[in-house]
Protein backbone atom coordinates (compact mmCIF):
# COMPACT_ATOMS: atom_id res chain seq x y z
CA UNK A 1 0.00 0.00 0.00
CA UNK A 2 1.27 3.42 -0.92
CA UNK A 3 1.55 5.45 2.25
CA UNK A 4 -0.39 8.69 2.50
CA UNK A 5 1.75 11.75 3.16
CA UNK A 6 1.29 15.51 3.24
CA UNK A 7 -2.24 15.03 4.57
CA UNK A 8 -2.39 18.59 5.81
CA UNK A 9 -1.75 20.14 2.40
CA UNK A 10 -4.35 22.85 1.89
CA UNK A 11 -6.34 22.27 -1.33
CA UNK A 12 -6.06 25.98 -2.10
CA UNK A 13 -2.39 25.32 -2.89
CA UNK A 14 -3.13 23.03 -5.81
CA UNK A 15 -6.77 23.00 -6.98
CA UNK A 16 -6.72 26.46 -8.66
CA UNK A 17 -3.43 25.76 -10.45
CA UNK A 18 -4.39 22.18 -11.38
CA UNK A 19 -7.53 23.27 -13.22
CA UNK A 20 -5.76 26.26 -14.70
CA UNK A 21 -3.23 23.72 -16.03
CA UNK A 22 -6.11 21.62 -17.38
CA UNK A 23 -7.62 24.54 -19.29
CA UNK A 24 -4.51 26.14 -20.79
CA UNK A 25 -3.35 23.29 -23.08
CA UNK A 26 -6.93 22.63 -24.24
CA UNK A 27 -7.22 26.28 -25.33
CA UNK A 28 -3.79 26.24 -26.99
CA UNK A 29 -4.47 23.02 -28.91
CA UNK A 30 -8.06 23.65 -30.00
CA UNK A 31 -8.35 27.46 -30.27
CA UNK A 32 -4.96 29.15 -30.46
CA UNK A 33 -3.81 26.59 -33.03
CA UNK A 34 -6.48 27.92 -35.43
CA UNK A 35 -5.04 31.43 -35.21
CA UNK A 36 -1.45 30.20 -35.42
CA UNK A 37 -1.99 28.10 -38.58
CA UNK A 38 -4.08 30.84 -40.18
CA UNK A 39 -1.35 33.43 -39.55
CA UNK A 40 1.29 31.03 -40.85
CA UNK A 41 -0.40 30.88 -44.24
CA UNK A 42 -2.65 27.79 -44.27
CA UNK A 43 -5.98 28.05 -46.11
CA UNK A 44 -9.31 27.85 -44.30
CA UNK A 45 -10.00 24.27 -45.42
CA UNK A 46 -6.67 22.98 -44.10
CA UNK A 47 -6.95 24.97 -40.88
CA UNK A 48 -10.42 23.59 -40.11
CA UNK A 49 -9.51 20.02 -41.09
CA UNK A 50 -6.28 19.69 -39.14
CA UNK A 51 -7.37 21.55 -36.02
CA UNK A 52 -10.67 19.64 -35.88
CA UNK A 53 -8.74 16.37 -35.83
CA UNK A 54 -7.08 17.67 -32.66
CA UNK A 55 -10.39 16.99 -30.87
CA UNK A 56 -9.91 13.23 -31.42
CA UNK A 57 -8.01 12.48 -28.17
CA UNK A 58 -10.87 13.98 -26.16
CA UNK A 59 -13.32 11.83 -28.15
CA UNK A 60 -11.55 8.54 -27.42
CA UNK A 61 -9.94 9.27 -24.04
CA UNK A 62 -12.36 6.89 -22.21
CA UNK A 63 -10.62 4.05 -24.08
CA UNK A 64 -7.33 4.53 -22.23
CA UNK A 65 -8.70 5.84 -18.92
CA UNK A 66 -8.30 2.33 -17.36
CA UNK A 67 -4.56 2.55 -18.03
CA UNK A 68 -4.38 5.80 -16.05
CA UNK A 69 -6.29 4.08 -13.23
CA UNK A 70 -4.01 1.04 -13.10
CA UNK A 71 -0.51 2.21 -14.05
CA UNK A 72 1.26 4.56 -11.64
CA UNK A 73 -0.50 7.20 -9.56
CA UNK A 74 -2.77 10.02 -10.74
CA UNK A 75 -0.20 12.44 -9.31
CA UNK A 76 2.51 10.87 -11.49
CA UNK A 77 0.34 11.14 -14.61
CA UNK A 78 -0.48 14.80 -13.88
CA UNK A 79 3.13 15.92 -13.51
CA UNK A 80 4.37 13.71 -16.36
CA UNK A 81 1.77 14.99 -18.82
CA UNK A 82 2.53 18.60 -17.89
CA UNK A 83 6.22 17.97 -18.54
CA UNK A 84 5.40 16.26 -21.85
CA UNK A 85 3.32 19.28 -22.92
CA UNK A 86 6.18 21.58 -21.89
CA UNK A 87 8.54 19.72 -24.22
CA UNK A 88 5.96 19.56 -26.99
CA UNK A 89 5.25 23.31 -26.94
CA UNK A 90 8.97 24.10 -26.84
CA UNK A 91 9.62 21.85 -29.85
CA UNK A 92 6.64 23.46 -31.63
CA UNK A 93 8.39 26.81 -31.27
CA UNK A 94 11.57 25.27 -32.68
CA UNK A 95 9.91 23.68 -35.73
CA UNK A 96 7.54 26.48 -36.75
CA UNK A 97 8.26 27.57 -40.35
CA UNK A 98 10.58 30.55 -40.72
CA UNK A 99 8.41 32.06 -43.47
CA UNK A 100 4.63 32.07 -43.75
CA UNK A 101 3.22 29.57 -46.23
CA UNK A 102 6.58 28.54 -47.70
CA UNK A 103 7.55 25.30 -45.99
CA UNK A 104 5.55 22.07 -45.87
CA UNK A 105 7.60 19.72 -43.68
CA UNK A 106 7.77 22.05 -40.65
CA UNK A 107 3.97 22.29 -40.72
CA UNK A 108 3.81 18.49 -40.58
CA UNK A 109 6.17 18.43 -37.59
CA UNK A 110 4.20 21.19 -35.91
CA UNK A 111 0.94 19.28 -36.39
CA UNK A 112 2.48 16.11 -34.96
CA UNK A 113 3.61 18.03 -31.90
CA UNK A 114 0.12 19.51 -31.46
CA UNK A 115 -1.30 15.97 -31.61
CA UNK A 116 1.18 14.91 -28.93
CA UNK A 117 0.02 17.83 -26.81
CA UNK A 118 -3.62 16.89 -27.42
CA UNK A 119 -3.10 13.29 -26.24
CA UNK A 120 -1.14 14.53 -23.21
CA UNK A 121 -3.83 17.09 -22.38
CA UNK A 122 -6.66 14.54 -22.64
CA UNK A 123 -4.70 12.12 -20.43
CA UNK A 124 -4.04 14.95 -17.98
CA UNK A 125 -7.81 15.59 -17.80
CA UNK A 126 -8.45 11.95 -16.84
CA UNK A 127 -5.78 12.03 -14.13
CA UNK A 128 -6.73 15.44 -12.74
CA UNK A 129 -10.42 14.63 -12.41
CA UNK A 130 -9.63 11.28 -10.82
CA UNK A 131 -7.13 12.85 -8.45
CA UNK A 132 -9.71 15.45 -7.39
CA UNK A 133 -12.05 12.66 -6.24
CA UNK A 134 -9.26 10.80 -4.43
CA UNK A 135 -7.54 13.71 -2.71
CA UNK A 136 -10.71 15.39 -1.36
CA UNK A 137 -13.52 14.06 0.77
CA UNK A 138 -17.16 14.54 -0.26
CA UNK A 139 -17.58 17.84 1.56
CA UNK A 140 -14.37 19.29 0.11
CA UNK A 141 -15.40 18.19 -3.40
CA UNK A 142 -18.64 20.16 -3.04
CA UNK A 143 -16.84 23.21 -1.66
CA UNK A 144 -14.22 23.31 -4.41
CA UNK A 145 -16.35 22.36 -7.43
CA UNK A 146 -17.00 26.04 -8.15
CA UNK A 147 -13.33 26.90 -7.65
CA UNK A 148 -12.15 24.32 -10.18
CA UNK A 149 -14.71 25.55 -12.72
CA UNK A 150 -13.72 29.19 -12.12
CA UNK A 151 -10.02 28.57 -12.66
CA UNK A 152 -10.70 26.53 -15.77
CA UNK A 153 -12.57 29.54 -17.14
CA UNK A 154 -9.72 31.83 -16.06
CA UNK A 155 -7.43 29.61 -18.14
CA UNK A 156 -9.80 30.13 -21.07
CA UNK A 157 -9.62 33.91 -20.65
CA UNK A 158 -5.84 33.75 -20.25
CA UNK A 159 -5.36 31.58 -23.34
CA UNK A 160 -7.85 33.20 -25.71
CA UNK A 161 -7.06 36.65 -24.38
CA UNK A 162 -3.59 37.29 -23.00
CA UNK A 163 -1.70 34.69 -25.05
CA UNK A 164 -3.32 35.81 -28.31
CA UNK A 165 -2.81 39.47 -27.35
CA UNK A 166 0.86 38.68 -26.66
CA UNK A 167 1.21 37.10 -30.11
CA UNK A 168 -0.48 40.11 -31.71
CA UNK A 169 1.76 42.55 -29.83
CA UNK A 170 4.88 40.60 -30.86
CA UNK A 171 3.71 40.62 -34.50
CA UNK A 172 3.47 44.41 -34.38
CA UNK A 173 6.75 44.82 -32.48
CA UNK A 174 8.91 42.64 -34.74
CA UNK A 175 6.93 42.69 -37.98
CA UNK A 176 7.72 38.98 -38.22
CA UNK A 177 4.76 36.61 -37.77
CA UNK A 178 6.76 33.35 -37.44
CA UNK A 179 9.12 34.91 -34.89
CA UNK A 180 6.17 36.26 -32.89
CA UNK A 181 4.53 32.85 -32.70
CA UNK A 182 7.80 31.07 -31.86
CA UNK A 183 8.21 33.38 -28.89
CA UNK A 184 4.57 32.90 -27.91
CA UNK A 185 4.89 29.10 -27.93
CA UNK A 186 8.05 29.38 -25.80
CA UNK A 187 6.04 31.40 -23.28
CA UNK A 188 3.41 28.62 -23.28
CA UNK A 189 6.15 26.02 -22.71
CA UNK A 190 7.57 28.08 -19.84
CA UNK A 191 4.13 28.35 -18.24
CA UNK A 192 3.60 24.57 -18.37
CA UNK A 193 7.13 24.00 -17.02
CA UNK A 194 6.39 26.23 -14.03
CA UNK A 195 3.08 24.46 -13.37
CA UNK A 196 4.68 20.99 -13.53
CA UNK A 197 7.36 21.98 -11.00
CA UNK A 198 4.72 23.64 -8.80
CA UNK A 199 2.55 20.53 -8.77
CA UNK A 200 5.51 18.25 -8.09
CA UNK A 201 5.89 20.03 -4.76
CA UNK A 202 2.27 20.91 -3.92
CA UNK A 203 0.19 17.87 -4.92
CA UNK A 204 -0.15 15.69 -1.82
CA UNK A 205 0.74 12.01 -2.11
CA UNK A 206 -2.74 10.94 -1.14
CA UNK A 207 -3.40 7.83 -3.19
CA UNK A 208 -3.77 4.67 -1.14
CA UNK A 209 -4.88 1.31 -2.54
CA UNK A 210 -7.33 -0.68 -0.42
CA UNK A 211 -7.25 -4.38 -1.13
CA UNK A 212 -5.78 -6.02 -4.22
CA UNK A 213 -5.40 -3.82 -7.29
CA UNK A 214 -7.35 -5.32 -10.23
CA UNK A 215 -5.43 -6.35 -13.32
CA UNK A 216 -5.55 -4.35 -16.51
CA UNK A 217 -7.51 -7.16 -18.16
CA UNK A 218 -10.15 -7.09 -15.43
CA UNK A 219 -10.47 -3.33 -15.74
CA UNK A 220 -10.95 -3.51 -19.53
CA UNK A 221 -13.49 -6.31 -19.09
CA UNK A 222 -15.51 -4.15 -16.70
CA UNK A 223 -15.14 -1.21 -19.06
CA UNK A 224 -16.49 -3.37 -21.90
CA UNK A 225 -19.54 -4.15 -19.78
CA UNK A 226 -20.21 -0.47 -19.03
CA UNK A 227 -19.70 0.30 -22.73
CA UNK A 228 -22.28 -2.35 -23.70
CA UNK A 229 -24.80 -1.17 -21.09
CA UNK A 230 -24.46 2.39 -22.38
CA UNK A 231 -25.49 1.44 -25.91
CA UNK A 232 -28.49 -0.64 -24.83
CA UNK A 233 -30.00 2.13 -22.72
CA UNK A 234 -33.55 3.25 -23.42
CA UNK A 235 -33.81 5.99 -26.10
CA UNK A 236 -30.09 5.70 -26.91
CA UNK A 237 -30.74 6.71 -30.54
CA UNK A 238 -32.47 9.94 -29.52
CA UNK A 239 -29.78 10.66 -26.95
CA UNK A 240 -26.93 10.20 -29.45
CA UNK A 241 -28.75 12.37 -32.00
CA UNK A 242 -29.08 15.08 -29.35
CA UNK A 243 -25.42 14.83 -28.32
CA UNK A 244 -24.22 15.01 -31.92
CA UNK A 245 -26.64 17.58 -33.42
CA UNK A 246 -27.71 19.97 -30.65
CA UNK A 247 -24.60 22.12 -31.22
CA UNK A 248 -24.42 21.64 -35.00
CA UNK A 249 -24.64 25.39 -35.88
CA UNK A 250 -21.83 26.17 -33.45
CA UNK A 251 -19.81 23.12 -34.51
CA UNK A 252 -19.76 24.29 -38.15
CA UNK A 253 -19.08 27.93 -37.38
CA UNK A 254 -16.54 27.76 -34.56
CA UNK A 255 -13.53 26.80 -36.70
CA UNK A 256 -14.32 29.55 -39.23
CA UNK A 257 -14.88 32.44 -36.81
CA UNK A 258 -11.21 33.27 -36.35
CA UNK A 259 -10.40 33.02 -40.10
CA UNK A 260 -13.48 35.21 -40.75
CA UNK A 261 -12.15 37.84 -38.35
CA UNK A 262 -8.60 37.71 -39.76
CA UNK A 263 -9.29 37.42 -43.50
CA UNK A 264 -9.12 40.61 -45.56
CA UNK A 265 -12.30 42.48 -46.41
CA UNK A 266 -11.67 41.86 -50.11
CA UNK A 267 -12.30 38.12 -49.54
CA UNK A 268 -15.31 38.64 -47.26
CA UNK A 269 -13.59 38.78 -43.86
CA UNK A 270 -13.38 41.63 -41.37
CA UNK A 271 -9.63 42.27 -41.66
CA UNK A 272 -8.92 42.41 -37.91
CA UNK A 273 -5.49 42.00 -36.33
CA UNK A 274 -4.42 39.11 -34.10
CA UNK A 275 -4.56 41.44 -31.08
CA UNK A 276 -8.12 42.48 -31.97
CA UNK A 277 -9.20 38.83 -32.10
CA UNK A 278 -7.55 38.20 -28.73
CA UNK A 279 -9.44 41.14 -27.26
CA UNK A 280 -12.79 40.10 -28.73
CA UNK A 281 -12.77 36.40 -27.86
CA UNK A 282 -10.40 36.31 -24.92
CA UNK A 283 -12.00 39.07 -22.87
CA UNK A 284 -15.38 40.28 -24.15
CA UNK A 285 -16.37 36.87 -25.53
CA UNK A 286 -15.29 34.82 -22.51
CA UNK A 287 -16.92 37.24 -20.05
CA UNK A 288 -20.19 37.03 -21.98
CA UNK A 289 -19.84 33.23 -22.20
CA UNK A 290 -19.31 32.99 -18.44
CA UNK A 291 -22.29 35.23 -17.64
CA UNK A 292 -24.46 33.16 -19.95
CA UNK A 293 -23.33 29.98 -18.20
CA UNK A 294 -24.05 31.40 -14.75
CA UNK A 295 -27.54 32.55 -15.74
CA UNK A 296 -28.13 29.22 -17.46
CA UNK A 297 -27.31 27.39 -14.25
CA UNK A 298 -29.69 29.62 -12.27
CA UNK A 299 -32.44 29.11 -14.87
CA UNK A 300 -32.10 25.32 -14.78
CA UNK A 301 -32.10 25.38 -11.00
CA UNK A 302 -35.35 27.35 -11.00
CA UNK A 303 -37.26 25.73 -13.89
CA UNK A 304 -35.60 22.33 -14.27
CA UNK A 305 -34.02 20.92 -17.41
CA UNK A 306 -37.22 20.05 -19.27
CA UNK A 307 -38.70 23.57 -19.13
CA UNK A 308 -35.31 25.20 -19.75
CA UNK A 309 -34.43 23.14 -22.80
CA UNK A 310 -36.45 25.07 -25.41
CA UNK A 311 -35.30 28.61 -24.53
CA UNK A 312 -31.74 27.36 -24.13
CA UNK A 313 -31.75 25.54 -27.48
CA UNK A 314 -32.93 28.70 -29.25
CA UNK A 315 -30.42 30.78 -27.30
CA UNK A 316 -27.59 28.55 -28.47
CA UNK A 317 -28.63 28.39 -32.13
CA UNK A 318 -30.16 31.70 -33.17
CA UNK A 319 -27.38 34.13 -32.10
CA UNK A 320 -25.17 32.54 -34.79
CA UNK A 321 -27.09 34.96 -37.03
CA UNK A 322 -24.81 37.79 -35.87
CA UNK A 323 -22.07 36.33 -38.07
CA UNK A 324 -24.36 36.26 -41.08
CA UNK A 325 -25.06 39.94 -40.43
CA UNK A 326 -21.33 40.69 -40.19
CA UNK A 327 -20.59 38.67 -43.35
CA UNK A 328 -23.20 40.66 -45.29
CA UNK A 329 -22.41 44.16 -43.98
CA UNK A 330 -18.75 43.83 -42.85
CA UNK A 331 -18.85 46.33 -39.97
CA UNK A 332 -15.63 48.19 -39.21
CA UNK A 333 -16.33 49.52 -35.72
CA UNK A 334 -14.63 47.26 -33.15
CA UNK A 335 -17.24 48.11 -30.50
CA UNK A 336 -20.04 46.99 -32.82
CA UNK A 337 -18.21 43.77 -33.67
CA UNK A 338 -17.49 43.18 -29.98
CA UNK A 339 -21.16 43.68 -29.07
CA UNK A 340 -22.25 41.14 -31.69
CA UNK A 341 -19.64 38.63 -30.50
CA UNK A 342 -20.85 39.15 -26.92
CA UNK A 343 -24.45 38.38 -27.98
CA UNK A 344 -23.36 35.14 -29.63
CA UNK A 345 -21.13 34.05 -26.75
CA UNK A 346 -23.72 34.88 -24.10
CA UNK A 347 -26.33 32.87 -25.99
CA UNK A 348 -23.94 29.96 -26.37
CA UNK A 349 -23.06 29.98 -22.65
CA UNK A 350 -26.74 30.08 -21.71
CA UNK A 351 -27.73 27.33 -24.15
CA UNK A 352 -24.76 25.07 -23.45
CA UNK A 353 -25.88 24.70 -19.82
CA UNK A 354 -28.85 22.59 -20.91
CA UNK A 355 -26.57 20.38 -23.00
CA UNK A 356 -24.29 19.60 -20.07
CA UNK A 357 -27.24 18.98 -17.74
CA UNK A 358 -28.75 16.62 -20.32
CA UNK A 359 -25.51 14.58 -20.32
CA UNK A 360 -25.74 14.33 -16.53
CA UNK A 361 -29.40 13.27 -16.75
CA UNK A 362 -28.72 10.61 -19.36
CA UNK A 363 -25.72 9.27 -17.42
CA UNK A 364 -27.73 8.49 -14.27
CA UNK A 365 -27.52 4.92 -13.02
CA UNK A 366 -25.04 2.36 -11.78
CA UNK A 367 -22.18 3.41 -14.06
CA UNK A 368 -22.83 7.14 -14.13
CA UNK A 369 -19.14 8.10 -14.06
CA UNK A 370 -18.20 5.87 -17.00
CA UNK A 371 -21.35 6.72 -18.93
CA UNK A 372 -20.77 10.43 -18.42
CA UNK A 373 -17.23 9.99 -19.79
CA UNK A 374 -18.72 8.34 -22.89
CA UNK A 375 -21.19 11.21 -23.25
CA UNK A 376 -18.34 13.73 -23.16
CA UNK A 377 -16.63 11.70 -25.88
CA UNK A 378 -19.68 12.14 -28.10
CA UNK A 379 -19.70 15.82 -27.12
CA UNK A 380 -16.17 16.17 -28.52
CA UNK A 381 -17.15 14.14 -31.59
CA UNK A 382 -20.05 16.53 -32.25
CA UNK A 383 -17.51 19.34 -32.64
CA UNK A 384 -14.89 17.36 -34.52
CA UNK A 385 -16.96 15.94 -37.40
CA UNK A 386 -18.51 19.21 -38.70
CA UNK A 387 -15.18 20.97 -38.22
CA UNK A 388 -13.48 18.56 -40.62
CA UNK A 389 -15.51 19.89 -43.56
CA UNK A 390 -16.27 23.42 -42.35
CA UNK A 391 -13.31 24.96 -44.17
CA UNK A 392 -14.20 23.30 -47.46
CA UNK A 393 -17.82 24.44 -47.10
CA UNK A 394 -16.70 28.02 -46.44
CA UNK A 395 -14.39 28.07 -49.45
CA UNK A 396 -17.17 26.70 -51.64
CA UNK A 397 -19.98 28.95 -50.37
CA UNK A 398 -18.10 32.09 -49.35
CA UNK A 399 -18.63 33.62 -45.92
CA UNK A 400 -22.25 34.83 -46.48
CA UNK A 401 -23.34 31.49 -47.94
CA UNK A 402 -21.50 29.57 -45.21
CA UNK A 403 -23.28 31.45 -42.42
CA UNK A 404 -26.63 30.95 -44.20
CA UNK A 405 -25.90 27.21 -44.05
CA UNK A 406 -25.09 27.57 -40.34
CA UNK A 407 -28.50 29.16 -39.75
CA UNK A 408 -30.20 26.30 -41.63
CA UNK A 409 -28.47 23.91 -39.21
CA UNK A 410 -30.53 25.51 -36.43
CA UNK A 411 -33.36 23.26 -37.64
CA UNK A 412 -31.32 20.27 -36.42
CA UNK A 413 -31.05 21.84 -32.98
CA UNK A 414 -34.83 22.34 -32.90
CA UNK A 415 -35.53 18.79 -34.11
CA UNK A 416 -33.33 16.96 -31.60
CA UNK A 417 -34.54 19.20 -28.76
CA UNK A 418 -38.15 18.28 -29.55
CA UNK A 419 -37.29 14.55 -29.44
CA UNK A 420 -34.95 14.61 -26.45
CA UNK A 421 -37.01 16.62 -23.95
CA UNK A 422 -40.04 14.30 -23.89
CA UNK A 423 -38.70 11.58 -21.54
CA UNK A 424 -37.01 14.03 -19.12
CA UNK A 425 -38.51 14.19 -15.63
CA UNK A 426 -40.06 17.60 -14.90
CA UNK A 427 -38.26 17.76 -11.56
CA UNK A 428 -34.76 16.99 -12.84
CA UNK A 429 -32.39 19.92 -12.37
CA UNK A 430 -34.57 21.89 -9.97
User: Which DSSP category does 162 fall into?
Assistant: I
Averages of pLDDT over each 10 residues, the chain, 430 residues: 47 88 92 88 86 89 78 88 96 80 66 93 87 72 66 83 90 87 94 94 72 65 80 89 93 90 91 89 82 83 86 91 94 92 90 85 76 84 91 93 95 93 79
**How many whole angstroms separate alpha carbon 74 and alpha carbon 71?**
9
Q: What are the residue boundaries of the structural domains of the chain, listed by start?
A: 1-205, 215-430
* Crossing angle of helices 368-408 and 248-262, rounded to 10°: 60
Flag whether the pTM goes above 0.75.
Answer: yes
One of 1.20.1250.20, 2.30.30.170, 2.160.10.10, 3.90.79.10 is the CATH number of 1-205, namely 1.20.1250.20
Closest-CA residue to 81 (of 110, 118, 29, 53): 118
Say if residues 413 and 313 touch (Cβ distance below 8 Å): yes
List C-alpha distances in Å: 146 to 141, 151, 236. Answer: 9, 9, 31
Spacing of C-alpha 166 from chain mean position? 21
The CA-to-CA distance between both ends of the chain, in Å, stands at: 42
Q: What is the pLDDT of residue 344?
A: 92
**How many whole angstroms separate alpha carbon 334 and alpha carbon 170?**
21
Give SS3 for 23: helix
Greatest Cα pair distance, the chain, in angstroms, is 68
Same CATH fold assignment for domains 1-205 and 215-430: yes
Superfamily of domain 215-430: MFS general substrate transporter like domains (1.20.1250.20)
Say if residues 61 and 123 touch (Cβ distance below 8 Å): yes
Per-residue model confidence as pLDDT tens digits over 248-282: 999 999 889 989 999 999 999 999 998 898 888 87
Closest-CA residue to 254 (of 51, 414, 20): 51
User: Which DSSP category does 104 fall into?
Assistant: S
Say if residues 383 and 247 touch (Cβ distance below 8 Å): yes
List C-alpha distances in Å: 326 to 167, 322, 331, 404, 410. Answer: 25, 6, 6, 12, 18
* Crossing angle of helices 334-362 and 368-408, rounded to 10°: 140
Q: What is the pLDDT of residue 366?
A: 72
Amino acid sequence: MEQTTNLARNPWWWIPTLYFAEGIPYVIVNTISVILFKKMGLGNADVALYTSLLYLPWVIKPLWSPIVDILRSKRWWIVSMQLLMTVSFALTALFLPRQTGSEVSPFVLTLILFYVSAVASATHDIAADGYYMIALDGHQQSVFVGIRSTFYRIATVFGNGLIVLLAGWLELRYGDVPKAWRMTMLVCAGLLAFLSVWHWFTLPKKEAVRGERPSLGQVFKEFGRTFYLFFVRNKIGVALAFMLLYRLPEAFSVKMLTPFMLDGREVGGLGLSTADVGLLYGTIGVIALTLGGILGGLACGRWGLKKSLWPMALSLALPCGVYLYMALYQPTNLWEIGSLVAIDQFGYGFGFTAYMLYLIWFSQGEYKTSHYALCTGFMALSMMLPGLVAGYMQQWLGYPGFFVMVMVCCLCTVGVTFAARRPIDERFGK
